[in-house]
Structure 1
Amino acid sequence: MADETADAVVIGAGHHGLVAASMLADAGWDVLVLEAQPEPGGAVRSAELTPGYITDLFSSFYPMTVASPAMAALRLEDHGLRWSRAPAVVGHPRCATDDDPPIIYPDPARTATELARREPGDGDNWWRAVELWQQIKAPLLDGMLAPFPPVRPMLRLLLKLGTADAVRLARLLIQPANTMAGRLFDGDAPRTLLLGNAMHADVPPDAPVSGAMGFLMTMLAQDGGWPVPVGGSGQLTAALVRRAGSAGARIECNQNVSRIQVRGGRAVGVSTAGGRTVRARRAVVADVTAPRLFCDMLPADAVPAGLRRELEHYGWDPPVVKVNYALDGPVPWRSENLRDVGTVHLGADGDGLVRWMADLNTRVVPEHPFLLLGQTTTADPSRSPEGTESVWAYTHLPRDVADDAAAERLAKSMDQVIEEHAPGFGAAVIDRFVQRPSDLEASDANLHLGALNGGTAQLQQMLIFRPAPGMGRAETPVEGLYLGSASATPGGSVHGACGRNAANAALAAGGVTGWPRRRVRRAVFSLLTN
């Protein structure tokens, strides 16, 4: 049987792979996507674990998706995607008995009024933060989601702000979250919100640049809310599949690519574990983790020795333990105003977040974990029968502690934290399903040891250091091979930028400027990865 051939082979039908496939197919390329799992979507999938209850199995709320230029360009709403939002965005009780927790509401005036009620100056402080965000959000998001260095977006930001204000903004964004919170706000309530939002990444709140994540997530909550796809996260994947298919891309599941074929320093095709071979005339885009790509899938002589050494010490984000619940009624919160909130942060105030992160960094399984809880029926009434709630909660184990016994112990601690904030919660649960790190990885190989973000978001492995020093872009030392997963810049979250950047790099290499560009890239890799 003759080998199959395509212009581009995309390894993995996660959302980044599907974005890349759509873009390449839009350019007229013949694109084949090969996915190892029985269904597409990677970490954007949902299922009916309990009859009548839809559960988001991995990611759930999508502020970065609606904010991302990469996703907006695909016009997924034209392919059946619909969004829904909870009446309130995010809340963070500071202790189990807090009956007046700070909440971000869709209306910034209401949020500001609620914060001013607690601390008079924080109403104006909130408005100043919102006004700053409105001024910088477009170039900032473009810069954050671009390959490194993001020259054009940063020039736009510089021209918009002027040199002095741009320097002040840069200084603000590189600060630790706890320092930033103290600079922006007077009272404890908005500080708690910002610090809790900073914990969506694995950067300690007292570490540089953690403030940038806190500010980003806080302002996305205020600006557009944290929406969910109507009918479950799988509907986002379904729209991406329809979008790619409408452009002509082919998607095949149960096709586990095990090797990338390299000839003369160029990726020329792939082989599957089942013995299938597909030749790639123009490009291979890998929506897989960087260690798997460079250490397992490529011939050893195709990877610079320095790059292989770096990836042997690749830093993963902490393993996730997720618990899914089906409730016969609403969550019985002590604080009534949490009933309208889509996402609730539980288990720690500002100081408690520092202690919790210290446990994770010192291999201590937290007895009182900080966790994120999603009320998905509150955000989207289609998720469960009327009057009930489909709920999930997740937290982290320490790095290098991903065994099932520790996960089960932590899951029970999560139950207790929720019960403390919502007495009677356990009695309302009609079904409960734990996803341990091993379960997450079995469902998606990119979730290595239960890590959701494709590698740590701490500064030493971001920007030009992602996935290894000297990279920061989708291009790899192998000509025609592009890294299009969350292991590439800009990293984790459902924004599609890693796939977009890989597709753009492949398209640029195929143009008239491709030859000198490739020569420069090879020279840079030779200097920085050998």
Structure 2
Amino acid sequence: MVQEADAVVVGAGPNGLVAAIALGDAGWDVVVVEAHDEVGGAVSSAEVLAPGYVTDLFSAFYPLAAASPVITGLDLPAHGLRWERAPDVVGHALDDGDAAVLHHDPADTAARLDREAPGDGDAWLELVRQWDSVRDPLLDALFTPFPPTTAAARLLRRLGTQGTLELARLAVTPVRRFGDERFRGKHAPLLFTGNAMHSDVPPDGAGSAIFGWLLVMLGQDVGFPVPRGGAGQLAAAMRRRAESVGVQFVTGARVTGVDVRGRRARGVRLADGSSIQARRAVLADVPAPTLYRDLVGEDRLPSGLRRDLDRFQWDNSTIKVNWGLSSPVPWANPDLAGSGTVHLGVDLDGFVDFAADLSTHREPERPFLLFGQMTTADATRSPAGTESTWAYTHVPHGDWTGARLERHVQRMEDAVERVAPGFRDAVVARHVQSPGDLEGRDPSLVGGAINAGTSGLHQQLFFRPTPGLGRPETFVDGLYLAGASAHPGGGVHGACGWNAARVAIAAQGWSGPVRRRLNRTVWGRLLTPP
């Protein structure tokens, strides 16, 4: 067992792995402590259906990873990562047999939209041109510590005042309104709304348009790629990259506490009674409530932070069902056969109804599903002529076990059957993951919440995870929040871990004492009870 290191990283999810790599690249002696035997967190795959069928147990498609300057800068292909892509990016299946499809080539997408509603193709291409003009500074702004002053200045210079105001308006616009303003037909709004619903912001809620716009534009830019051989191959490549710069891994070891002495993080305590000392920093790839309440300890928290944590809002729970099929999905509309991801279960009005069910804690009678055709995206995922598939849907927090769980799984299968008659007949194996199952396999998915906290505007930017500076620093010197509860939030982009590592490195430089005094002053004022 490693006894001491420059830095201890708690958790080997993608953010923890990126943090470890960044510290290792800077010459730090780093040890990563992971409770499970394998690294990756919610980037994991296994054969849980039948021999030869590979299932991504959590996340599956990675547009954010493919576009993130953090992930792309790691040169993971040199460490074994291979990306694969489906013939088409995303589809939306409607119960009447109609379908919207996002193709890889924007011109093909525009042509399809124009066939439904003349003029929508030009509107689509205008959005793509706008994306091309802001892509690099926008991604830099999204994935750097808050406030992103340099990237924001680049955006302002590129867009000018009017363009910047338009982007700001997009950032607070509901996706339902966005679709009404931009398009005449329903296909384009379906694509934007379905992608917006990857977050937990309702379609008529402020800020939902920016999520849909970002994912759709990334789909036109880098597609929705998957790691060849399963999501676990992405985590494995990241581990190899970390080990190439000397990072050490301690797996099968659960951290039970952060050792805080003299207002500074000095290391971590493990469940077996041992400890690892940290000479410089502790970085935690865990949800914010877990870090503060469980690892630091409720008795150490300032009263203002306890108040803010009481208001912390999780995103909705998730139920995921994995199926092994004996044949390709029998879509009623064959145009969906090439889409790696298919949205289904609802139409444009149905999105609103579904979101209302979640907001009022009702069981959705017509759930919205995100459906993955994994063998379509990567031929290694199941035997030739078959398909490895999954679907997930969000549900309110609560007890999702027994008959209640099975009833909702049946609703999910009914939704697939409506747009792919004969689907049930093709199923050779089924594996259900309840919210409790998801959390049991990855404790960071508290209650089956996959975003480490709501994406609502009230808990984003400098409100994430609690009102403050939106930065990785905590009220404890040398302790950094490196998980998805930190800005910029959920998704496999690595920015939360990267930001924490860069801030930890900067704190060791000439400006370190000033940074620590400023951090203590700011936290002291923020956490003073009103």
Q: Per the shorter chain, which TM-score range?
A: over 0.9
- Return 5+ residue gaps in structure 1 as ranges: none
Percent of residue pairs bearing the same amino acid type: 53
Corresponding residue for residue 125 of structure 2: 127
* Residue 339 of structure 1 pairs with residue 337 of structure 2: yes
TM-fit CA distance, 1:411:
1.2
Give, in angstroms, the shift of residue 349 of structure 1: 1.3
Give, in whole Å, the separation in 1 of the partners of 2:430 and 2:208: 33
**Is residue 5–residue 278 contact of structure 2 (8 Å, CA) maintained in 1?**
yes
Aligned-partner residue type, residue 87 of structure 1: P
Q: 1:423 to 1:299 in 2, by over 3 A?
A: closer
Q: Judge which range, 255-264 or 301-310, deviates more.
A: 301-310
- Paired position in structure 2 for 1:37: 36
Structure 1 position 377 matched with structure 2 position 375: yes
Match of 1:231 in 2: 229
Structure 1 residue 172: deviation in Å? 2.1
2:301 to 300, 303, 307: 303
C-alpha spacing 1:305/1:373, structure 2 compared with 1 (3 Å): same
* Aligned counterpart in structure 2 of residue 514 of structure 1, from 512, 515, 518: 512
Which TM-score applies when normalising by structure 1? 0.98
> How many Å apart are 1:153 and its aligned residue?
1.0
1:157 paired residue among 155, 158, 168: 155
Secondary structure of 1:324's match? strand
- Distance in 2 (alpha carbons) for counterparts of 1:402 and 1:199: 21
Amino acid at match of 2:43: V
Q: Which of residues 286, 289, 309 is equivalent to 1:288?
A: 286
Q: What secondary structure, in the 3-state scheme, does the structure 2 residue paired with 1:192 have? A: helix
Deviation, 1:301, is 4.9
Structure 2: segments with no counterpart, 5+ residues: none
What CA RMSD, in Å, does the superposition of the two structures yield over aligned residues? 1.2
Q: Report the residue type matching 2:456 in the other structure.
A: Q
Instruction: Determine the structure 1 residue equivalent to 2:71.
Output: 71
Q: Find the aligned partners of 1:405 and 1:295 in 2 and give their Cα distance.
A: 33
Counterpart for residue 459 of structure 1: 457
| Whole-angstrom distance in 2 between the partners of 1:408 and 1:504 | 46
The verdict on how the C-alpha distance between 1:490 and 1:424 changes in structure 2, with shifts beyond 3 A counting, is same
Residue 16 of structure 2 corresponds to residue 20 of structure 1: no
Q: CA separation of 1:43/1:107 partners in 2, compared to 1, >3 Å: closer, same or farther?
A: same
Corresponding residue for residue 434 of structure 1: 432
Could you give the per-residue CA deviations for residues 128-181 of structure 1, whole angstroms, max 9, x where no partner exists? 010000011111111112222111111110011111211122112210111111
1:482-526 Cα shifts (integer Å, max 9, x gaps): 000001010000000000001001001011111111111111111
164-173 vs 297-306, which moves further: 297-306
- Paired residue for 2:55? 55
CA displacement at 1:313 relative to structure 2: 2.8
The CA deviation at 1:406 is: 3.1
Cα distance, 1:401 vs structure 2 = 5.0
Deviation of 1:404 after TM superposition, in Å, equals 5.0
The CA deviation at 1:371 is: 0.4
Letter in 1 for 2:525: L
Specify the code of the residue in structure 2 equivalent to 1:513: S
Q: Aligned AA for 1:522? A: R
**Structure 2 matches for 1:163-182, cutoff 5 A?**
163-182=161-180
Q: Residue 406 and residue 143 in structure 1: after superposition, are their counterparts in 2 closer, same or farther (change >3 A)?
A: farther
Q: What is the Cα deviation at residue 16 of structure 1?
A: 0.5
Tell me the distance in 1 between the aligned counterparts of 2:213 and 2:477: 38
Which position in structure 2 is the counterpart of 1:494?
492
1:57-91: per-residue Cα shift (whole Å, max 9, x none)? 00000000011011011110110000000000101
8 A contact 1:404–1:438 mirrored in 2: no
CA contact under 8 A between 1:397 and 1:407: conserved in structure 2? no
Q: Matches of 1:302 and 1:7 in 2, distance apart? A: 24
Aligned to 1:263: 261
Q: Which of 495, 516, 521 is the aligned partner of 1:523?
A: 521
TM-score of the superposed pair, with normalisation by structure 2: 0.98
Q: Is the 8 A contact 1:402 1:449 kept in 2?
A: no
Distance 1:300 1:106 in 2: 49
The 8 Å contact of residues 202 and 318 in structure 1, kept in 2 or not, is answered as yes
Change (3 A) 1:522 1:19: same
| CA distance in structure 2 between the partners assigned to 1:36 and 1:167 by the alignment | 46
SS of aligned partner of 2:244: helix
Q: Is 1:265–1:302's contact at 8 Å kept on the other side of the alignment?
A: no
Mapped contact 2:397–2:447 kept (Cα < 8 A): no
Cα-to-partner distance string for 1:334-392 (whole Å, 9 max, x where unaligned): 00111111000001111110000000111101111000000000000010011100000
Establish whether residue 397 from structure 1 lines up as the match of residue 387 from structure 2.
Answer: no
**Alignment correspondent of 1:351:** 349
Counterpart CA distance in 2 for 1:365 and 1:37 is 33
What is the identity, as a one-letter code, of the residue corresponding to 1:85? Answer: R
Deviation of residue 405 (structure 1)?
Answer: 4.2
Query: Could you list the per-position Cα deviations for residues 452-476 of structure 1 after superposition, in whole angstroms to 9, with x for gaps in the alignment?
Result: 1111111111111111011411110
- Does the C-alpha gap of structure 1 residues 402 and 313 become closer, same or farther in structure 2, counting only changes over 3 Å? farther
Q: Which moved more, 1:179-188 or 1:249-258?
A: 179-188
Shift of 1:119: 0.6
Query: Structure 1, residues 167-206: CA drift from partner, whole Å, max 9, x if none?
Result: 1221122101111112222211101111111000000011
Instruction: Return the alpha-carbon distance in structure 1 between the equivalents of residues 426 and 418 of structure 2.
Output: 14
Per-residue Cα deviation, 1:261-293 (whole angstroms, up to 9, x for no partner)? 111100001001111111000000000110011
**Does the Cα contact within 8 Å between 1:52 and 1:384 map onto a contact in 2?**
yes
User: Counterpart of 2:213?
Assistant: 215
Tell me whether 1:92 sits opposite 2:92 in the alignment: yes
Alpha-carbon distance between aligned partners in 2 of 1:165 and 1:23, rounded to the nearest angstrom: 34
Give the conservation status (yes or no) of the 8 Å contact 1:407–1:437.
no
State the 1:4 CA deviation.
1.2
